[in-house]
Amino acid sequence: MIQNNPKVVVAIDGMPGVGKSMILDLMEKGRIDALLVHMDNFLTPIEHRQSLVDKEVSIEELVAGLFDYSDIRNLVEQYKKEENNEFSTLAYKSG
């Protein structure tokens, strides 16, 4: 267990089928005291992502536009302020 930081955030991203959910499930079953973030919950709407592709933006702009980073930051800040260790991101954001 991490000694000096009682609140740990774990965000896993990657291609479909590589085992992201399995790793998070194992961490959860192991009672790891961490906020387990499923990045898919923070994807920007498909219309926005498609518009970036249609505009042929740079790869940097495309990657920056895939996720709603402000929502991720807000979630992490909220988690770090919580007194208890129970926090769920299931269906935090849909769309």
Q: Which residues contact 21 (CB under 8 A, 6 or more apart)?
A: 38
Average pLDDT of the residues in 72-95:
63
- With tokens 């992502």, the residue in question is 49
Task: Give the model confidence (pLDDT) of 7-64 as tens digits.
Answer: 777 777 778 788 888 887 787 777 666 777 777 788 899 999 999 999 999 999 999 9
- Domain positions in the chain: 8-81
Q: Which residues contact 7 (CB under 8 A, 6 or more apart)?
A: 33, 34, 35, 79, 80
Q: Please give the pLDDT value at position 31.
A: 66
Question: What would you report as the CA-atom Rg of the chain, rounded to the nearest whole angstrom?
Answer: 15
Quick check: 66 and 44 in contact, CB under 8 A?
yes
